[in-house]
A and B are shown apart, each in its own frame.
Chain A
Amino acid sequence: MDQSTFASRLTFHDAIETLEVDFSHYVFDAPATVDAFYDHIDARVASTGKRWYFLVNYEGCEIAPQALERFAARGKNANISYGLGAVRVRPGERMRESIRTLAERDAFRANIFDNRDQAMVALGEMRKRRELLGAPTADAYLRVNDVHLNFGGVKALTGVSFQVHRGEIASIIGPNGAGKTSMINVISGFYRPSRGRIFFDGVERSHLPAHRVARLGFARTFQNIALFKGMTTLDNIMAGRRFRHNLFTDALYLGPAKQEELRQREEVEKIIDFLEIQAIRKTPVGRLPYGLQKRVELARALASEPKVLLLDEPMAGMNVEEKEDMARFVLDVNDQWGTTIVLIEHDMGVVMDISSHVVVLDHGAKIAEGTPAEVRADPVVIRAYLGVAA
């Protein structure tokens, strides 16, 4: 393969941490072509030792059907792209289906814009969001310190401590009744710990009521979906947004109130696009199937532009396909928005795949902590799960 052709199509914009990839009028005629190009990109990126935003130009790009699957798999890291590409049905034929249609059909994901200018604006916004949240840090972003939780005589949590770093995906796992949901409830301020402290971004926030915790930048989803059933998808997500509004201007719906509502609606539409729930905007959520309700709940949590996202079994009760979608969304949220994520999940495969840090609870106490690999190999964890003396 022609490495110099590949090289000439890559531009590193250091100032905006962006790698611009030019696929314009390139023809991917076989899986091998896709691999060759992406191997080159990966190698170049790795050699810089930095993270880059991807800006991709698809103008006139053609992908042969047999190469499509590989392309979809490897093209996932395109943050922003633009231009009309095509999937060739037969050699020589062009423009059967645009890349945008494909993206919308979910062959692969990308935010696709009409032209480079629009794409640059979107890229700018994405970078701004990331910057606001700050770069990943080595210090603890969220620190749970010796938390106890009692209900009457029942001890739900006993002396749990752990840390989550900014920008990482952390998982809390453990057998049923281990206290995972109680832990999330304590972090989100829904339960008040009987003892112990919680620090966020270096500041103690142990005893705030739940709505104040939410305003600090925490958002969550629930194990048993807790959507506002009588409201539409759109209203559910809008309710998740924090913006100034007041009774009198709302009642008149004139001037600033109207403009603010419409501005917020635009932001919400971005989340709707991101999670691909355009078709159910106006549907009362009570009528939606389970998988979609879970997605709307994620959308509502994202609407508040959280710094920390708490997910309580986001994939419970889903089929394989829905799980894959949800895992991808979680990764995308973390990747594109830089959001720190703490999740509870039973599916070990998912946990091992997407999280960088795992905390194991059993009977309300922490029994292990570490990387997925460490935890998986830990005999204490194995014993807790299998319930036998190891």
Chain B
Amino acid sequence: MSEIFVLTKRWPKKDPSLAGYRADGGYRSLEKALSMKPEEIVEQVKISNLRGRGGAGFPTGVKWTFLPKDVRPRYLCVNADESEPGTCKDRYVIEFDPHSLVEGIAITCYALDIHLAYIYIRGEFAKQARVLDQALAEARAAGLIGPKIAGRDFALEVHVARGAGAYICGEESALMESLEGKKGYPRFKPPFPAIVGLWGKPTIINNVETLANLPWIVEHGGAAFAALGAPKSGGTRLFCVSGNVKRPGIYEKPVHYNLKKLIVEDCGGPPSGLPVKAVIPGGSSSPVLRGDEIDVSMEFDALKAAGTMAGSGGVIVMDESVCMVRALSRIAMFYAEESCGQCTPCRQGTPWMEQILERLEHGEGTRADVELLEQLPGNIMGQTICALGDAAAMPVQSFVKKFKKEFLDHVEHRGCPLGDKAWGVYRETREALIGGIRQ
């Protein structure tokens, strides 16, 4: 079977304009959607088995049905906060094909009777925010969004809202707090956003990549999308491969593509020629896999069965030259920096884990420290309002479990056995392959 590209088919053309998008048949799916009943679109999305691409992998169509029937207004928040280390896909959807997102938003809003949508984009993506503003201006001028979308009696306004530097705002309730003009403190759930969301109203929050699939689903039907993937998990997804590989980049593959095949065949394996030591399969929160555990499907349920998560599709590859203590200490530093400070176990536990790991890496650690690292994450997991606590705990738990000898070696050697170059061997310039485009 030849490869089917849902999300990246237009990327190599590098023409993000409305004219270019329309020349390739763009916005025909919106026309088709507007001729359908809203509930028919929701049904097709359910049939498609589309699951959220932001990290949780929740079925999109099911999430949509959580909206209470008689409460208005409803809002759509598009999550473009893309901050999970190892994840760099939504930015390219926006850079190379912003109208696929805008069309997906318009279809979604029509299907759910939503008339106001915000694209919450991380503050660091200044260029991507400009691209979106430009695309929205084009769509507005062409009457594709505005008081009467595509000439129909349906009003839709879409705005870009930029964040200002906070990982936590990718968490959906913190995102809404931020959008309301506050610091990003996650809210208690339940109530879930579909019931009580932005400004207390029913709100659907979907990831950029999730919504960019909508035009294809409407054009080809939910069943065709479902057929691209595995049972209960349809379509393709964007895998971001980084770290020690010859060809890092963004690869659109069926959701159940094999992780080892992606790393070894598509990305060429480590440039050093050394074996793969460890792989983080779905962004830095996902439990690490040893090199001998990567012959697995990357589908959500398959990776769950393998003891980890498909998460956001951020695959980070480390070869034998990389020190696991050093890598984990950097990951721990990230969560300590990004903990919002609302819950004590996370606020206090994340810097504690970071300090223990720094001690170990610099030869000041003890066996008791390693034992502490085995126990401590369990006292954070499930004890916090949002999933950041779990996200910080899971890497620590998995790294120590799978590479325990390396942690104990740091105690015995009173330092890193791999020496000062603990980040391993790397080559300074490598070609990235972004959706078929050489960078």
A binds B: no
